[in-house]
Structure 1
Amino acid sequence: MKKWVLSLTLAASVFGLAACGNSAVVKTDAGNVTKDQLYTAMKDKYGSSVLQQLTIEKVLSKKYKVSKKEVNAQVNEAKNQLGTSFDTALQQYGYANESDFRNSIKVGLLEQKAAEASIHPTKKQLKDYYTNNIKPEIKARHILVSSKEKADSIKKQLDKGADFATLAKKNSTDTATAAKGGDLGWFGAGEMDSAFEAAAYKLKKNEISDPVKTSYGYHIIQLTGQKEKQPYSKMKKEVEKKYKESKVTTEKIQAVLKKELKAADIKVKDDDLKNTFDSILSNSNSTSTTSGSSSSSNN
């Protein structure tokens, strides 16, 4: 999903100040800072980016709907992954607060849905995707540490019969799962780090992996459950959904935005912001994604 760095909270503040006059926001012995001065400075710094985001949300919302449940699912996933680091991570990505993050998630989901609507897979493409990419859900637990030496030490303890959950609670730096003995619950293909996922799917039930390196550190993984793969007939809708998700690229999103914004006949009334949408509307690298052939080339 696209990460928007500028906050919609800021956007509301910037444009809410318009035509507010010269009343002081700050008073000092050296002179005052007026609302007009603040508005002008904020518009010069953030105006184009914020106006672009607000307009995209308005245009796409006319055709595509994002529910509160969908936004909550994304936010809760982030909270589960980040644990107590959630608020710090929001600040690092430039979000003002959780509300700002939710607005960003909504815009990203609108773009995702708009791009997916332009992808029309054939039956063969879907069946091939089912065969090659759909895996049964598995359940696992893990212990995450920062060094290979620490991971090796924990693996040796486990090989000697130490309790996995106890070691996870004591050692795992994944605070969101450590308290649960490292339990990650059920997950499917494409939901975890690729190296983690590859290692987990190679395990037999109750088998414990050697240390697995990912961008998060070193994992010791134990497979605790595995479901059977359901037949294609029962997974048809899910397969199509996952197929479309896998084909959404930055280029597809840019192409869809260009098409939707042109159709919306945007007219920017503020001369200072008149070039806001030039980067999207004049994007010559965007290619049409309205036919099935565009998605088949990505198989």
Structure 2
Amino acid sequence: MKKWVLSLTLAAGVVGLAACSGGGDTVAKSKAGNVSKDELYEAMKERVGDQMLQQLVIEKVLDKEYKVSDKEVDKELNKMKDQLGPQFEMQLLQAGFKDEDDFKEVLHLNLLQQKAATKDIKVTDDEVKEYYDQKEPDIDVRHIIVEDEKTAKEVKKKLDNGEEFADLAKEYSQDATAETGGDLGTISRDDPQMDEDFKAAAFDLKEGEVSGPVQTQFGWHIIEVTKKPEKEAFDKVKDEYAQELKVAKLDQDSNLILQAMKRELKKAKVEVKDEDLKASLDSILDAPDPEDTNDEQMDQQKDDSAKDQADDQDASEDKSKDEKKDK
């Protein structure tokens, strides 16, 4: 999940405040008293009101200006499933999502923000071609990880003798993938979280090939590449790679997404009517423009320079006084 997506910091699965607004209908009854929609709304507003209103407004505004199809959401979802492999469901639950559909709602907003923020980002054909030339297709891998080289060689010998990789992973492997036959899912050459020695060995293998013992900071691995696609033609992936480059620029400058949200909210002339939530959008709408930030930095540099000159002058005068005293 991308660090620049504002919505992903919000509580997953929280009931939308819009569904609770207005009316005094009873939502729960008890001998001790009833709970009305108004009471529920006020309680939720106090706890998550600012964040939830921000998310609802942003999604409504962006949905009118940009289109994200179910196909695009599913594609993003499948990418994450490939990357996380059998750990996907657990990661989903740990992040607070009740199910896949709940997560897809956040992916939808993620892609809306992405389209809004990349709208004015430009990349040249040369940049895209260079990116294409350097990029290797992702591969699917599984591994067996043990503590020492001796055990790794023992595992490799058994594989060479025809024993099943998944069975040996369950018997020997010392990480959570043991239960899934060592499956690590899809890995990327440029994944910063993946060990460099592991990637170097894995990407050097052919599809279906099994490595010898490979040492990394985590232990000794036996690696198998279960899928290694051929590189697609440039014309076929040009648009996709151009978008990936634009998104990469968002990652390099987190202020771009904030400025895009500010632009879209101002264009939509959003007005918060609830007095208690008046400041919900201030963190976006009051964010300084890049030009203002640059001016402030220049002013600060001038102030620092003037202060340094004054300090140097004072030091020079003190030194002159000391020299006169010595004479």
| Bucket of the pairwise TM-score, normalised by the shorter protein | 0.7 to 0.9
Residue 167 of structure 1 aligns to which amino acid in structure 2?
A: L
Change (3 A) 1:63 1:85: closer
How far apart are residue 115 of structure 1 and its match?
2.0
Query: What secondary structure, in the 3-state scheme, does the structure 2 residue paired with 1:28 have?
Result: coil
Residue 174 of structure 1 aligns to which amino acid in structure 2?
A: T
The residue number in structure 1 matching 2:305 is none
Q: Is the 2:143–2:222 Cα contact (8 Å) retained in structure 1? A: yes
Decide which of 248, 255, 267 is 2:259's aligned counterpart.
Answer: 255
Q: Provide the rounded CA distance (Å) in 2 between the counterparts of 1:224 and 1:96.
A: 31
Change (3 A) 1:212 1:4: same
Structure 1 or 2: larger helix share?
Answer: 2
Q: What runs of 5+ residues in structure 2 fail to find an aligned partner?
A: 293-327
How far apart are residue 101 of structure 1 and its match?
1.4
Single out whichever of 115-124 and 232-241 deviates more from structure 2.
232-241
Q: Is the 1:24–1:34 Cα contact (8 Å) retained in structure 2? A: yes
Change (3 A) 1:168 1:245: farther
How far apart are residue 266 of structure 1 and its match?
0.6
Query: What secondary structure, in the 3-state scheme, does the structure 2 residue paired with 1:118 have?
Result: coil
How many residues align? The count is: 275
Q: Is the 1:17–1:35 Cα contact (8 Å) retained in structure 2? A: yes
How far apart are residue 168 of structure 1 and its match?
3.2
The residue number in structure 1 matching 2:45 is 43
Residue 141 of structure 2 aligns to which amino acid in structure 1?
A: R
Query: What secondary structure, in the 3-state scheme, does the structure 1 residue paired with 2:280 have?
Result: coil
How far apart are residue 144 of structure 1 and its match?
5.1
Q: CA RMSD in A?
A: 3.5
Single out whichever of 275-284 and 247-256 deviates more from structure 2.
247-256
How far apart are residue 149 of structure 1 and its match?
1.3
How far apart are residue 125 of structure 1 and its match?
2.0
Residue 169 of structure 2 aligns to which amino acid in structure 1?
A: A
Q: Provide the rounded CA distance (Å) in 2 between the counterparts of 1:72 and 1:230.
A: 21
The residue number in structure 2 matching 1:292 is none
Q: Provide the rounded CA distance (Å) in 1 between the counterparts of 2:237 and 2:179.
A: 30
How far apart are residue 234 of structure 1 and its match?
5.2
The residue number in structure 1 matching 2:135 is 134
Q: Provide the rounded CA distance (Å) in 2 between the counterparts of 1:232 and 1:222.
A: 28
Change (3 A) 1:256 1:193: same
Change (3 A) 1:141 1:98: closer
Query: What secondary structure, in the 3-state scheme, does the structure 2 residue paired with 1:142 have?
Result: strand
The residue number in structure 2 matching 1:278 is 282
Residue 69 of structure 1 aligns to which amino acid in structure 2?
A: K
Decide which of 227, 236, 239 is 2:238's aligned counterpart.
Answer: 236
Structure 1, residues 235-268: CA drift from partner, whole Å, max 9, x if none? 4334323322322223221121111111111111
Change (3 A) 1:11 1:224: closer
TM (normalized to structure 2)?
Answer: 0.69
The residue number in structure 1 matching 2:108 is 106
TM (normalized to structure 1)?
Answer: 0.75
Look at both structures and tell me which one has the larger radius of gyration over its CA atoms.
2
